[in-house]
Amino acid sequence: MAFTHKHLIDISEYSADDIMLLLEVAVKFKEVNERKIKKVPTLKGFTVINMFNEPSTRTRSSFELAEKRLSCDSLNFGGSSTSAVKGESLIDTIETLNSYKVDMVIVRDKHAGVPRLIAEHVDAGVIDAGDGKHQHPTQALLDLYSIWENLGKLEGLHVGIVGDIGHSRVCGSLIPALKIMGATVTVIAPPTLMPARPDILGADYVSSNIDEVLPELDVVYMLRIQRERLEGAPYPSLREYNLLFGLTQARERLMKPDALICHPGPINRGVELDSYMADHPKRSVILNQVYAGICTRMAALYLLLGGSDDGLTA
Amino acid sequence: MKDSPKSTPDAKNAKSAQSNAAVMDAAEIERSLTRIAHQILESNHGAQNLALVGIVTRGDILARMLAEKIAEIEGSTVELGSLDISFYRDDFFTNFAPEVHATNIPFDMAGKTIVLVDDVLYTGRTIRAALDALTDFGRPAAVQLAVLVDRGHRELPIRADYVGKNVPSSKEQNVRLYLEEVDGTSSVEIIDIQPGTRASSAPLGGE
Amino acid sequence: MALLLKNARVIDPACKLDAVCDILIRHGEIVEVGKGLSIEKGITRDLTGKIVVPGLVDMHVHLREPGQEQKEDIASGSRAAAHGGFSAVCCMPNTKPIIDNAAQVRFVTERADEVGKCRVYVAGACTQGLKSETLSEMGDMVAHGAVAFTDDGCGIHTAGMMRLVMDYASMFDKAVMSHCQDESLVGAGQVNEGVVSTRLGMLGWPAAGEEIQIARDIAISRLTGCPLHIQHISTLRGLDLVRAAKAEGLPVTCEVTPHHLILTEDDIGDDYNTYLKVNPPLRTAEDVAGLIQGVVDGSIDCIASDHAPHAAWEKDCEFEVAWFGMTGLETMLSLILTKFVDTNIIDYARMVEMMAINPRKVLRLEQVKIEAGNIADLTVIDPEATWTVTKEDFYSKAVNSAFLGAELKGRANDVYVGGFATMEEGVIVE
């Protein structure tokens, strides 16, 4: 099978076969990560730039580890040292990066559409590590991986996503990805946290009642709730959010026996999840997701940098 | 191992259209493996502390067949592992194939004598990659190499300790092992390769 | 100095004129309109095949001077206006500093006299600094030439402030022109709320954020009697509110931009083309169909460009960082001709109503009729000229037009302001 993508920006550009290949290669990288020496020389000589224009410890760490374990040379660019602080335009910054002759740019930015803008200005490939409220495709891949690993399939599953759907780049990639893989998606949130048109993302059902939907779900995907100030918040209190939408021990009786709990982290204990559910030994795959992040990001780097010339036709 | 399976009907027909010459049949393969098993045991003074690691996609099957033979002869089992060298290749740029096969080394390599098993020894680059890979799993006491076919044309200072058959071939030819288990029939064949394509092992399940 | 324009098709619905005839101009004034005219001394131009209409007015442009000359200035913006077929424009007060006092009005007016290539009318700010806090000195601004008031660029925040503005303005017989945007609903909205905001993962600018202020301002117009002009209307329901107000007999008018008549939110693709970032945002196909209906049935009074030039670096950036607005002076007439007149959705007379007669009414300007005794502000159109919109063709400093590459038919050939050509054969007369 051929894998011809250069960028990972919009998950909807990937077919079910592309995504399955990524997951299968991620399994092989999981094996590497189980070794005592967790590093392979595969991408020796490749240069990857981690351009994190907004703070992100987890995603950046995960990418960095993936790069190091593939023997890439990586450069962290961003944070308080970004040129934006000095008034340079993003395009000038990108052109500068391009002059460094790099092979891949991993980009996190608070503005939607930035990865595409970068792809237009660099020769390198681009991986979207989260752009504004738009997409976060590697998060979707690691989520798919965790679900697939634990339930053995994706097609036909019913996944419920609960929380701030409207401001979630995770949803922007995860919902389309689940649809590509043949799953059914229900989004569950108060209307104040819903996007204007959840159907446009691909959601099959929209609900504001978690208790009605829980018995149907194979996967309950809890999103992080921002602990914002109360004034103008889209819910009256964290307490009420937890009462209406929190996945609590009391709600377990509504869940299918083998239904999984996912969360992109970091968790707000006592808000979207209580500790019983967050740490549930059978259901919670939250730490598997973190691990899957390394494996799937290694797979993405491996496949995207693999070049389009598959001269192996014997 | 190093292939991009293109299982199109056309490719299947193309295979039969090529001028194939069988250089080993099933019986000869069987006899060679039996001999190699005896040689391994002889050189290593038995099966103690011995482990076989086959390079996917056919070396791992050969390794298993060798392990079975060793068990028959010696009455004791040896450790068995499989190795995919995709992550260690030196031709990532030019001959990238997206599929990666399973690596499975279910034992501690430290202190063991490892016999690497591959189907066809050619340039030696696969073995170079495999040696790198092995090192990442631990520090074996020794590494030996068993191949069913040595077709020459080495590009690196590598030689096999155990060889089923030396098959002189030209660089314009491909030497391929087919195994009943995955290909329906067992044989070693010399195939003329199309200009511009590359010698490599047959994709699992035929072309 | 005599000028004779011969053999053009002259269209002016104000004097029920649509005929091939000649126009004789002396000392900047039309002295005779008729067939077979001739002069002994002066210039005679044969305009066979061309169309002459009253000088077009773009009643909503941003000339950016003073303060933002990297985007545009009065010299370049007024040349763009002439190049687009306009004899006059009305410029918005959101310059730096804001045009909220007589000195600023005078600056723009005098600067336009010095370097301009069209008549430049100034709309003063309703509130000081566009802050919705304190009334600006409207009376003094009127005394120095301001033709209308607007806080264009933002809505007036509260109903109470809008009531003060319209109550006060009503003594000057000037329209209060309202940019309808409820900050509490719109916030940092980037694109129309709905399909496009969800698809692109950006904050939505809901239609309701515009419609609420249209409804509010109509109610305050009813309360105060102040003439109200809704700027760049973009939604179907907003237009219905204006229709109802007109039916009630309130002094309410509205304008629409070419981009809100031609483009929809669906045109914003995943390339995040910042030239399509406008305020109010591009709406749905249903809204566009509704607005076109309003152009046809007369419920929309004016077409104005909301010419919003920006420097390249202010648009070549992240969508959410980019400034709102696109240019329009040099494409508007051709777009309307190509999309609506050439397709027989409207006729030339209706175009003239919306781009010359009604803007002058709203701005309380003296009408220009093509009959003896009127100022010779005229636009000559070549209805058959076909051209492609390119950056190189613009006289504007800015190139942020969503219509680059568009193939258009019909464009301004000449413009006369007070009998003097500001553009002749497509070239600005310096």
pLDDT by residue (tens digit) across C157-189? 999 999 999 999 999 999 999 999 999 999 999
Instruction: Report residue B100's pLDDT band, with 50, 70 and 90 as the boundaries.
Output: confident
Examine the pLDDT at B195 and tell me if it is beyond 80. Answer: no
CB within 8 Å: B136 and A40: yes
Look at residue B22 and tell me if it is in a domain. Answer: no
Residue B85's domain spans which residues? 28-90+97-171
Look at residue B12 and tell me if it is in a domain. Answer: no
CB within 8 Å: C202 and A134: yes
Of A55, A300, A69, A57, nearest to A177 by C-alpha is A300
Min Cα separation A202/chain C (Å): 10
Same domain, A65 and A146: no
Examine the pLDDT at B82 and tell me if it is beyond 60. Answer: yes
Quote the pLDDT of residue A227.
Answer: 72
Quote the pLDDT of residue C374.
Answer: 97
Look at residue A6 and tell me if it is in a domain. Answer: no
Q: What is the pLDDT of residues C372-427, one digit of tens each?
A: 999 999 999 999 999 999 999 999 999 999 999 999 999 999 999 999 999 999 99
Quote the pLDDT of residue B8.
Answer: 39
- Quick one: average pLDDT of C286-299? 98
- Quick one: average pLDDT of C96-109? 97
Mean pLDDT of the residues in chain C: 97
Complex confidence, ipTM: 0.87
Chain C contacts of A113, Cβ < 8 Å? 200, 270-272, 318-320
Chain A contacts of B198, Cβ < 8 Å? 311-312, 314
CB within 8 Å: B4 and A2: yes
d(CA B202, CA B206): 7
For chains B and A, having 3+ Cβ pairs within 8 Å is answered yes
Quote the pLDDT of residue A79.
Answer: 58
Look at residue B81 and tell me if it is in a domain. Answer: yes
Quote the pLDDT of residue B101.
Answer: 84
CB within 8 Å: A196 and C270: no
Quote the pLDDT of residue A10.
Answer: 96
Quote the pLDDT of residue B204.
Answer: 66
Same domain, A122 and A194: no
A78, C311, C419 from A89: Cα distances, Å: 13, 13, 47
Q: Which of A7, A109, A111 to mutate against chain C (most C CBs within 10 Å)?
A: A111
Quote the pLDDT of residue C54.
Answer: 98
What CATH number did the domain enclosing B116 receive?
3.40.50.2020
Examine the pLDDT at B9 and tell me if it is beyond 70. Answer: no
Give burial (CB, 10 Å; 0-12/13-18/19+) of B135: middle
Examine the pLDDT at C225 and tell me if it is beyond 90. Answer: yes
Same domain, A46 and A31: yes
Min Cα separation C405/chain A (Å): 20
The CATH homologous superfamily for domain C2-52+372-384+405-428 is: Urease, subunit C, domain 1 (2.30.40.10)
CA dihedral sign, ordered A223, A227, A230, A232:
negative
C232 backbone φψ class: left, alpha, beta (φ>0; ψ -120 to 50): left
Percent of chain C with pLDDT over 70: 100
Look at residue B194 and tell me if it is in a domain. Answer: no
Where is average pLDDT lowest: A210-214, B22-26, C205-209, C235-239?
Answer: B22-26
Quote the pLDDT of residue C202.
Answer: 95
Chain C contacts of A116, Cβ < 8 Å? 270-272
Cα-based angle C183, C271, C406 (whole degrees, multiple of 5): 95
CB within 8 Å: B88 and A41: yes
Same domain, A272 and A282: yes
Same domain, A91 and A210: no
Of C198, C199, C320, the CB nearest to A111: C320
Residue A21's domain spans which residues? 11-136+291-304
Ordered strands of the B187-192 beta sheet: B20-25, B187-192, B173-178
Look at residue B7 and tell me if it is in a domain. Answer: no
User: For residue A195, what is the nearest residue in chain C, using CA coordinates?
Assistant: C198
Quote the pLDDT of residue A228.
Answer: 63
Quote the pLDDT of residue A89.
Answer: 87
Chain A contacts of B207, Cβ < 8 Å? 314
**Residue of A28, A58, A153, A282 marked catalytic:** A58
Instruction: Report residue B20's pLDDT band, with 50, 70 and 90 as the boundaries.
Output: confident
Min Cα separation C321/chain A (Å): 8
Look at residue B18 and tell me if it is in a domain. Answer: no
User: For residue C194, what is the nearest residue in chain A, using CA coordinates?
Assistant: A196
CA A289 to chain centre: 10
Query: DSSP letter string over C151-194?
Result: -TTS--S-HHHHHHHHHHHGGGT-EEEE----HHHHTT--EETT
Look at residue B136 and tell me if it is in a domain. Answer: yes
Among B59-63, C38-42, C324-328, the range with the most confident prediction by mean pLDDT is C324-328
C185 backbone φψ class: left, alpha, beta (φ>0; ψ -120 to 50): alpha
Interchain contact A136–C (C-beta under 8 A): no
Quote the number of domains for chain A.
Answer: 2
Quote the number of domains for chain B.
Answer: 1
Instruction: Assess whether A28 carries a catalytic annotation.
Output: no
Of B89, B95, B102, the CB nearest to A28: B102
Interchain contact A195–C (C-beta under 8 A): yes
Q: Which two tokens stand for residue C286?
A: 């249903």
Q: Which of A15, A17, A298, A313 to mutate against chain B (most B CBs within 10 Å)?
A: A313
Chain B contacts of A306, Cβ < 8 Å? 92, 96, 98
Examine the pLDDT at B81 and tell me if it is beyond 90. Answer: yes
Interchain contact B97–A (C-beta under 8 A): yes
Look at residue A188 and tell me if it is in a domain. Answer: yes
Look at residue A312 and tell me if it is in a domain. Answer: no
Same domain, A56 and A182: no
Chains that touch B (3 or more CB pairs under 8 A): A
Same domain, A46 and A108: yes
Domain ranges in chain C are 2-52+372-384+405-428, 55-362
Quote the pLDDT of residue A3.
Answer: 86
Does the domain at residues C55-362 carry the CATH identifier 3.40.50.10190? no
Quote the pLDDT of residue A62.
Answer: 97
SS (H, E, C) chain A: CCCCCCCECCHHHCCHHHHHHHHHHHHHHHHHHHCCCCCCCCCCCCEEEEEECCCCCHHHHHHHHHHHHCCCEEEEEEHHHCHHHHCCCHHHHHHHHHHCCCCEEEEEECCCCHHHHHHHHCCCEEEEEEECCCECHHHHHHHHHHHHHHHCCCCCCEEEEECCHHHCHHHHHHHHHHHHCCCEEEEECCHHHCCCCHHHHCCCEEECCHHHHHHHCCEEEECCCCCCCCCCCCCCCHHHHHHHHCECHHHHHHCCCCCEEECCCCCCECCCECHHHHCCCCCECHHHHHHHHHHHHHHHHHHHCCCCCECCCC
Contact B51, B113 (CB under 8 A): yes
CB within 8 Å: A134 and C201: yes
**Residue of C58, C73, C306, C382 marked catalytic:** C306
Give burial (CB, 10 Å; 0-12/13-18/19+) of A294: buried
Look at residue B39 and tell me if it is in a domain. Answer: yes
pTM of the model: 0.87
Ranges of chain A with pLDDT below 70: 1, 79-86, 228-231, 307-314
Listed by number, the residues of chain B in 139-198 with a beta carbon closer than 8 Å to a beta carbon of chain A are 174, 193, 197-198
Examine the pLDDT at B129 and tell me if it is beyond 70. Answer: yes
CB within 8 Å: B100 and A25: yes
Chain C contacts of A89, Cβ < 8 Å? 313, 316-317
CB within 8 Å: A314 and B84: no
Same domain, A165 and A127: no
For strand C302-303 and strand C252-256, is the pairing parallel, antiparallel, or unpaired? parallel
Chain A contacts of B200, Cβ < 8 Å? 312, 314
Examine the pLDDT at B13 and tell me if it is beyond 50. Answer: no
Look at residue A3 and tell me if it is in a domain. Answer: no
CB within 8 Å: A313 and B89: no
Same domain, A196 and A300: no
What CATH number did the domain enclosing A25 receive?
3.40.50.1370
Chain A contacts of C202, Cβ < 8 Å? 112, 132-134
Quote the pLDDT of residue A308.
Answer: 34
Chains that touch A (3 or more CB pairs under 8 A): B, C
Examine the pLDDT at B28 and tell me if it is beyond 80. Answer: yes
